[in-house]
Structure 1
Amino acid sequence: MLKKYSVSVLAAAVAASVSVTANANDALEVVDLGTAPGAYVTFPGGMNELGEAVVVNRELWQQNIRYDLLTQEVFGELDFDNLTDAQYRSVRNLLNNPQGFAGNPEVQKLATQVSHIFDGSARFLLGFDELDAETNEFTDSVNVVANAINDAGFIVGSAGEAYQRRDTTDREGEPVRYFMRDSYPRAFVYREGEVTFLPSDPLEGEEVFQGGTGSAFAINQNNQIVGRAAVANSVNLNARLVICQTPPEEEGAASAANEELNVCVWRFWNTNEVLSVAQGSNRAPIFIEQAHLWQLNDDASVEAVRLGGFERLTTITNPEDEDDVTEQLIPLPSRALDINNQGIAVGTAQRVVDFTNANGQVFPNITVTSSVAFRDGDIIPLQQEFRAQTSEATAINDNNIAVGYSILPAGSASRSRAYWVDLNSDSPEMVYPTGFFNTSSWRPRAVNNQNVMVGQAEVTAEIAQQRRTVGFMYDIDSNAITDLNTLLPCNSGYRIVDAYDINDRGEILALATTSVAIPVDGEDDVAARLRAVRLQAGSGSACGEGAGEDVVERKGASVHPIVAGVMALFALLITRRRMKRA
């Protein structure tokens, strides 16, 4: 049976963590966190104790497209000097298609996501992009994903460098101009226009090609940053490097070695880390990445510390001599997703274990992704037995309560089950609350110091492959859970589909759908679009069940196929319930 919780009890849980006095039935006020210039869809990043938030923008308009480089043969009769809004989007979408132009280094590269800070107004994060050497306009080619902000205003996340057009050679050795850069997306720390890319701490004796990849996911009030960074080239990357530098046996034959090394490896990175995701697969890093901690010092210097990971013993046979067999320890990936003010980090790490399935069968030497804590230089496994092949610790508060999820059998399917664990215990054990119902899939993203966690959950037990999801709030101490939509005022115009963060004032950073109008060729295209919002103590009465159902699906201008495709993509991202921290 579906559990029901009264609005008054759950609103009281919010009020208990808010620093101002509020009536138990008071509704939560919804504050839209705005957009960067020319963006219409936003996603939450993170929020600090002051209520300041970082926001990721997608569905970007007004980018500096190099129309002078586009061939009329591809774009037909389009007049590049007089494009309609729909035609502009068709050009932009073709340039951003990972299966087409976006995978071709000869074609201009455009960013698909940029970030801003909201501190009462939306301020775009400047300082990442560069001027195009040929047009003297910004390249608009830098993806900036801001994931967290602390009270001092330091912002962390992942970003690349700008693509610039430069002369090199193609696969046949002929002169060609490629849009290229000399690095891959890496972790950064940002404050007031100053960008610092965070270095990796490679494994001993390893050289990481072009600095590798990385991302920063969290920062505490002591300016300690955690995330992931490359510690070594993967086996596949090393094989690619050989291919890229091995001339063909026959003179004049086509070969990957006939083009610049950076271009050859970039193609490999794009296929594994961009195209694979666009096609619905998981990201396949070309580097071995492990959890890192970066200490930002008072003199602005940065100290990188590899938090490490587990290893797998691998047997290697010489292909030319089957009797020549050696054993080698291969480092496995890990990542740190959050850190509290005591310096304890949590995250996930691959490890080799004996796995027990739902029927009690034991399978030895299975590689699983497991929840871990990083404390005092040690990796602390949070799982005592391995019935889940994927488990992730997503957040930790200053009470040393960590929260996360494990993908466990639930009926005829496997679903994400939220847990919390007290790291103060000598033998920490994962506690799996029920959620909205017995087989509800739910994942927490954050927990505050009142032990209230937030995230995304299935709210109905209907038999469907993709159930409806909402943003939830769960009080660990009272075992009370709520659909955040029940705390909105009636006719708010918003429906909360996910919750990303919560601070000690009880403010919640959430993802909502709301009706947004986009001017398209003189008419307003009105549709339910995704927006980052902050939920805070308000006035008036909470609407209870049924709140958030008044979002306009579509009216006004007809649905352009490109708009429909974009909305379908965002719907897929939501229903697949992928976490932001990839």
Structure 2
Amino acid sequence: MKHTFLAVSILAGLSSQALAATYQLTELPRYEGAKYTFISDVNDNGQIIGAATSLFNLPIDVSYIDFDDATIKNAYDQAKRSYEQIDEEISFTLEDIKNGAAATNADANRFMLSFLGARANSAEYQKLQDRIALDIDAISAQEHVLFDVENSDTNGLTRSTSNYLTAISEDGVMVGWGSAPFSKTTFTPEGQSDEETFFIRDWSSRGVVITPQGEKVILEPEFTEHGGYSIATDIKKLDNGGYVVVGQSSVGIPENRQKNYDDNCDSKDEPLQVCRWLQQVSSRQFYDLRAFKWQLDESFNVISTTNLGLGLTPKDDENDAFVSAALAVNKAGVTVGYSPYRGEEDGSVAYPFNIAGYFEDGKLVPFKELENRAATGKATDINNNNIAIGYMGRRVGNGSILDQYGFYYDLNTKEYTQMPYFFKGSSTITTDINDAGYIIGQAEIEKNSSNRRREGFIYKVGDEKLLNINDLLPCKDDSGNNYPYTVAEAIKITESNHIYAIATKTVERRDRLGNIEKDSNGEIEYESVTLPVLLTPTPQGQIEDCAPPEAETYERQSGSALLLSLLVMPFAWLRRKKLKLLVR
């Protein structure tokens, strides 16, 4: 297979600093307009999609705000007291913000973001989303706009839409989802004489297919009342030239949700779109959502849609919403994901949390018999040999998931296997499996910590241990300093065991406007950020011993069969990953 321009560029740019280790790390381009850059998928041609968060200089619209209102005055007074408590003087006034200071003063910008964030569930305030979708090549990371639009109040995009690119096919067709942009409108409530400003949008989520030419094909939900809901999580190109896309779609609305809507949404106190949005954000789950499959022909026409079903049949007296989702599909169309499940044959025992499984004949089939009602899990990927991966655990009263471990399941033999931990109790999440059976993901590496750190791992189906990917990197950089990168999450593994990952690195701290921050002594401050990296196997390398034995929490496996097999596999550039994002 010939390398693409991106692949050749990346290989040509590899540094020599990792020649002593078993993996060579190359930092991929970051998005310059944000602190954090992530990868979500890569295709066979080296095309990378991802996201950026903590955007610099988010546009603040103050044209509708009454700066004499007690709400914003009280928020400002509280912020001023916070500065005084650390012996600092606040650097802006409300009058400054009214005159545009949020675009020039980082403290003012941060104050307004906090003020708006605290009112995210109020339709009377501007809506901002701190995440964009990205195309990443060998030179730069560029924004890929999904549904946002230009707006005069923000002098650019509204920045009010959600933006997710989740998968890319071998020929560069992308899928994902996003929301409609919010727009500003005025409305006079019944019985009042003054107009009020509201922010409204048409729908909360639409799945989208984006062709290599940039054309968008909207994946309309099955049920579109009150806006409807759909997302796309994975795509595969088929041998006939068409495509299969999986994700999730609204298929209806529970009776009690519809009743709440009918009782409250009468267009008297606010616009109908506002009431609808409020009903959706205040409900634990507004729509009935199902795992969904769309079939497209080679011209990107949707030729069939399939509701993949649930792991149970709702009873007549069960009025809450039921949700299933498809997270990954292989070229044979085998689809995996999650759903609630009812375990007993008579249907009397319901498992209330999401259960990992595969979809077949209009229902979800769980990968294993469940041990208790607190069981939960999701299937996150499936390779072309029908080996699925995911995680299982148990959910406790506060919503946390305990005893979370990775698994793989062979659909050919119906064999379920629990993967090992770094240590017992180490929370483990799998993200991708290649056709050779190598699994990657992230897992906790510290036993005794209130904030357990996670790092990326690689594991071979059938092996006895996980390998921490950071153990395969050098201990020092070219200058003899500690290696500056820590792989926090492995996202995508190719058939040649090249790994695309998210790493952390210490860089100069930047404020909300993107300016480098300094302390009171004028010294530059630093912070840890996430960035995308490529890890390339180096057959001549050896695992380095970076720490004394007493500091190790798990062994470096320098002699393992896994390591040897990683280095001798033939090169074939890039397959695909699953989806990093695990919805709900």
Do both proteins adopt the same fold according to a TM-score greater than 0.5, normalized to the shorter chain? Answer: yes
Distance 1:474 1:172 in 2: 66
Distance in 1, matches of 2:581 and 2:191, equals 42
* Distance in 2 of aligned mates of 1:71 and 1:508: 52
Q: Distance in 1 between matches of 2:31 and 2:200?
A: 25
Indicate the residue corresponding to 1:241 in structure 2: 261
Residue 457 of structure 1 is matched in structure 2 by 443
Match in the other structure for 2:577:
none
The residue aligned with 2:279 is: 268
Give the aligned partner of residue 490 of structure 2.
499
Provide the C-alpha distance between the structure 1 equivalents of 2:57 and 2:499, rounded to a whole number of angstroms.
31
Provide closer, same or farther for how the CA distance between residues 195 and 93 of structure 1 changes in structure 2, counting only shifts above 3 A: farther
Shift of 1:455: 0.9
1:161 shift after superposition: 1.3
Structure-2 residue corresponding to 1:197: 218
Which residue of the other structure, out of 359, 370, 378, is the alignment partner of 2:355? 370
- Given that 1:226 and 1:291 are in contact with CA atoms closer than 8 Å, whether structure 2 keeps it comes out as yes
Say if 2:201 is the partner of 1:184: no
Aligned pair 1:416/2:404, yes or no? Answer: yes
SS in 2 for 1:380: strand
| 1:76-105 deviation line (CA, Å, top 9, x unaligned) | 51423343223222222322x1x42x2222
Q: 1:542 to 1:197 in 2, by over 3 A?
A: farther
**Cα 1:292–1:54 shift into 2, 3 Å:** same
- Sort the Cα spacing of 1:516 and 1:189 in 2 relative to 1 into closer, same or farther, 3 A: farther
The 2-side partners of 1:441 and 1:136 are apart by: 44
1:84 aligns with 2:120: no
SS across alignment from 1:88: helix
Whole-angstrom CA distance in 2 between matches of 1:545 and 1:580: 34
Between the aligned partners of 1:269 and 1:331, the Cα distance in structure 2 is 12
1:374 is displaced (CA, Å) by 2.1
Q: CA deviation at 1:444?
A: 0.7
CA distance in 2 between counterparts of 1:265 and 1:154 reads 33
Instruction: Report how far residue 513 of structure 1 moved.
Output: 1.6
- Tell me the alpha carbon deviations over residues 204-253 of structure 1, each in whole angstroms, 9 at most, x when there is no partner: xxxx423422321111233311111111113443122112245xxxxxxx
1:227 partner letter: G
Letter aligned with residue 149 of structure 1: I
Number of the residue aligned with 2:35: 40
Which residues of 2 match residues 378-527 of structure 1 at below 5 A? 379-387=364-372, 389-408=375-394, 414-425=402-413, 428-460=414-446, 462-464=447-449, 466-490=451-475, 491-520=482-511, 523=517, 524-527=524-527
**Conserved? CA contact 1:440–1:459, under 8 Å:** yes
CA deviation profile, 1:388-430 (whole Å, cap 9, x unmatched)? 62022111001100111111599xx9311211111011xx131
Shift, 1:187, TM fit: 1.6
CA contact (8 A) 1:226 1:338 kept: yes
SS in 2 for 1:240: helix
1:52 partner letter:
Q
- Tell me if 1:308 matches 2:328: no
Give the aligned partner of residue 67 of structure 1: 62
Q: Could you say which residue in structure 2 is the equivalent of 1:251?
A: none
Structure 1 pair 419/70, CA: closer, same or farther in 2 (3 Å)? Answer: same
Residue aligning to 1:287:
287
Q: Structure 1-normalised TM-score?
A: 0.75
SS of the residue corresponding to residue 264 of structure 1 reads helix
1:495 Cα deviation after fit: 1.1
Tell me if the contact between 2:339 and 2:364 (Cα under 8 Å) persists in the aligned partners.
Answer: no
Give the superposition deviation at 1:448. 0.6
- CA-CA distance at 1:291 after TM superposition: 0.2
Percent identity between the two aligned chains? 25
Q: Confirm or deny: 8 A CA contact 2:244 2:294 kept in the other structure.
A: yes
Residues 56 and 116 of structure 1 are in contact (CA less than 8 Å); yes or no, is this contact kept in structure 2?
yes
* Post-superposition offset of 1:514: 0.9
Q: By how many angstroms is 1:260 displaced? A: 1.8
* Alpha-carbon distance in structure 1 between the residues aligned to 2:416 and 2:256: 36
Query: Which secondary structure does the structure 1 equivalent of 2:408 belong to?
Result: strand
Post-superposition offset of 1:44: 2.7
> Would you say the 8 A contact 2:206–2:221 is kept in 1?
no
Please name the residue that 2:121 is paired with: 103
Equivalent in the alignment of 1:570: none
Q: Quick check: 1:311–1:332 contact (8 Å CA) kept in 2?
A: no
Aligned mates of 2:314, 2:516 — CA distance in 1: 63
Q: Which amino acid aligns with 1:343?
A: G
The whole-number CA distance in structure 1 between the counterparts of 2:30 and 2:62 is 26
Decide whether aligned partners of structure 1 residues 106 and 541 sit closer, same or farther in structure 2, where only a CA change above 3 A counts.
Answer: same
Following TM superposition, by how much is the alpha carbon of 1:112 offset from its aligned partner in structure 2, in angstroms? 1.5
Give unmatched runs, 5+ long, in structure 1. Answer: 1-17, 203-207, 247-255, 273-283, 317-327, 356-362, 550-577
- Is 1:213 matched up with 2:229? yes
Aligned residues: 484
1:254-310 CA distance string (max 9 Å, x none): xx74222210121122334xxxxxxxxxxx331111101122322222243211114
Following the alignment from structure 1 to structure 2, what is the Cα–Cα distance between the partners of residues 143 and 171? Answer: 32
> Is the partner of 1:314 in helix, strand or coil?
coil
Q: Between Structure 1 and Structure 2, which shows a larger proportion of strand residues?
A: 1
Amino acid at match of 2:420: T
Unmatched segments (≥5 aa) in structure 2: 1-10, 77-92, 476-481, 518-523, 552-579
User: Do the aligned residues in 2 keep the contact of 1:405 with 1:417 (CA within 8 Å)?
Assistant: yes
* CA–CA distance in structure 2, aligned partners of residues 114 and 35 of structure 1: 13
Question: Which amino acid letter does the alignment assign opposite residue 199 of structure 2?
Answer: F
Preserved CA contact (<8 Å) 1:269 1:286: yes
Instruction: Report the residue type matching 2:406 in the other structure.
Output: A
Instruction: Work out the CA distance in 2 between the residues paired with 1:329 and 1:165.
Output: 35
Matches within 5 A, 1:342-353: 342-353=332-343
